[in-house]
Structure 1
Amino acid sequence: MNLILTVLEIVAPVGILAGVGFAWVKAGFDYPMAFVSRLAMTLATPCLIFTALMQTEIGPSALTKLLFAAIAAYALLTLVFWGLTVALRLERRTYLSPLIFGNTGNLGLPLALFAFGQTGLGYAVVIFAVAGIWGFTFGVWLVSQGGSPLRVLKEPLVAGTLLGALFLWQGWQTPGWLTNALELLGQMAIPLMLITLGVAVARLAPGRLGQAMWLSVLRVVVCVAVGVGVGHVFALDPVAIAVLVLQVSTPVAVTTYMLAGKYGADADAVAGMVIVSTVLSIITLPLTLAFVI
């Protein structure tokens, strides 16, 4: 019973805030998705990442170990899912990105924070940064069938990650007044991302739901197995393993749908995976949390 209540306390805030966004759109209210997403991704989230890294009490060696574990995890996921798309004869530019990339920002960061506190958030931002960089380079290249990977250097979340890592490594701290301002900006990120997730799900036009169902189930199984396996290979501490498993197994990222629509892949099929995996997460996320807690 205590485990059920603990999992409910972690999952409920996430579901409520995403539900607010979903209900907001269904009620007919306007929600400027482009503006809010830009605000979250170019200002609030980089501030959240920077302050979380700068103030983390996790040792640099532990974060470095997690960094390499996250890189290995996403490399392995890419290879496994690449093989699956070949074996199942799925169009790679449509299906590979949604199989690899989960909502490590919208869902992963708040879940890690609610489940494991500031330590969990410190670990989660490292994995989020790895996923973001891989998504903005390989993910965009895959869907667009071209483009320069150097565009990732223009992303504010990369700048926030690198600057936060530098401050952590050197033991630097920003002045108190600046830290307070950055923390206030960063505190916007999680509620904005969750509400935006609900809005995005409400606006999607899904397709191929039957295929999306079994692909989503297969994806969760593979991601959990990879997260656990890589975590043990790198001898991560229990909280780091739990956060790694949680992050890589989050539902399909909404950004994969946006990229599919932008570059002419099958956006409806990706939308189906986003919706099905998000709905399925009502079951899979509590089970995953119960497994890792």
Structure 2
Amino acid sequence: MSLLLEVLQIVAPVFFLAAIGFAWVKAGFEYRVQFVTRLAMTLSVPCLIFVALVETEIDPKALRDTAIATLVAYSVLGAVLFGICRLARLDVRTFWAPLTFGNTGNLGLPLALFAFGSEGFGFAVVIFAIMAVLSFTIGIYAVSGGGSLMNVVKEPIVGATLLGGVFLVMDWSLPQWSMNTLDLIGQIAIPLMLITLGVAISRLQPGAVLRASVLSVVKLVLCFAIAYWAGLQFGLGPVALAVLVLQVSTPVAVTSYMLAEKYEADSTEVAGLVVVSTLLCVFAIPVILALFV
């Protein structure tokens, strides 16, 4: 019973904040997702990542091993899912990127923070940053049928990650007043992202529920198994291993639906994946946390 209560205390803030966003829209209030998303991804999340990297007290070797394990996990996962898409005759442009890259930002970061504290959050930021770079390059290339390296360079998240990494390796810092300012800006990221997640889900109208259900279960099983295997291969510590599994196993991100709309993939199919995989995580994430907490 104590383990159940501990897990519920971890996941409850996440789902309650998302529920606020869901209820906000259902009550008829205005919520400009595009503006809030741009604010978070352009300003708040980069500040969050930079401060987390600069102030982390995690051993650099542990962060390096986690980064390598993350790259290996996503590489293997992407290859396996590509094969499944081909064998099942699923449209790669529609299904591959959403199934490969989960909601490590809106959902994974706060879960890691609530479950494993500042240490877990440090690992989660590294994993999220790597996923973001892969998603903005290979992911967009897959959805759109083309891409440009300049699009990656222009992303504030990428710049904040690289700059934070340099500060971490060189053991640099900024004046305390500037770090406090960046920290304050970064603090709005997690509640904003969770509320926006609830808003976005409330506006989705999914189709093909049966196929979305099967693919969501396949995604969850593969993500858990491959992330766990990669973590063991590189000898990650208990917290790093738990965060890697948690982050990689997050459900399909709402941004995948937005990208499908933008690049004219089958957005209805992606919407179904978002809703079903997110509902599945309501039951799956407490189980995953119970294995590691």
Task: Kindly report which structure 2 residues correspond to 1:1-293, keeping only aligned pairs within 5 A, or say none.
Answer: 1-293=1-293
CA distance in 2, matches of 1:205, 1:130: 30
Once the 2 structures are TM-superposed, how far is the Cα of residue 150 of structure 1 from its aligned partner?
Answer: 3.1
Once the 2 structures are TM-superposed, how far is the Cα of residue 134 of structure 1 from its aligned partner?
Answer: 0.4
CA distance in 1, matches of 2:205, 2:151: 29
Once the 2 structures are TM-superposed, how far is the Cα of residue 87 of structure 1 from its aligned partner?
Answer: 1.2
Once the 2 structures are TM-superposed, how far is the Cα of residue 205 of structure 1 from its aligned partner?
Answer: 1.6
Ranges in structure 2 where 5+ consecutive residues have no aligned partner: none
Report Cα offsets for 1:135-185 as digits up to 9, x if no partner: 000010101001213311100011111111111111111111001101100
Report Cα offsets for 1:105-131 as digits up to 9, x if no partner: 000000000000000110001000111
* Residue pair 1:141, 1:149 contacting (<8 A) in 2 also: no
Identity across matched positions, percent: 58
* Residue pair 1:138, 1:149 contacting (<8 A) in 2 also: no
Report Cα offsets for 1:197-235 as digits up to 9, x if no partner: 000000112110111011101110000001110000010
Once the 2 structures are TM-superposed, how far is the Cα of residue 98 of structure 1 from its aligned partner?
Answer: 1.1
CA distance in 2, matches of 1:83, 1:238: 31
Runs ≥4 in structure 1, deviation > 3 angstroms?
none
CA distance in 2, matches of 1:5, 1:47: 32
RMSD: 0.7
Count of residue pairs the alignment pairs up: 293
CA distance in 1, matches of 2:45, 2:142: 25
* Residue pair 1:102, 1:249 contacting (<8 A) in 2 also: yes
State the AA in 2 paired with 1:117. Answer: G
State the AA in 2 paired with 1:170. Answer: M
CA distance in 1, matches of 2:161, 2:81: 27
State the AA in 1 paired with 2:109. Answer: L
Ranges in structure 1 where 5+ consecutive residues have no aligned partner: none
* Residue pair 1:19, 1:198 contacting (<8 A) in 2 also: yes
CA distance in 1, matches of 2:256, 2:268: 11
State the AA in 2 paired with 1:81. Answer: L
CA distance in 2, matches of 1:23, 1:101: 27
**Match of 2:206, SS?**
coil
CA distance in 2, matches of 1:46, 1:145: 27
CA distance in 2, matches of 1:52, 1:167: 11
* Residue pair 1:120, 1:240 contacting (<8 A) in 2 also: yes
State the AA in 2 paired with 1:168. Answer: L
State the AA in 1 paired with 2:138. Answer: F
* Residue pair 1:136, 1:149 contacting (<8 A) in 2 also: no
CA distance in 2, matches of 1:204, 1:226: 30
State the AA in 2 paired with 1:213. Answer: S
Report Cα offsets for 1:248-292 as digits up to 9, x if no partner: 000101111111111111000000000000111110111111122
**Match of 2:29, SS?**
coil
* Residue pair 1:7, 1:286 contacting (<8 A) in 2 also: yes
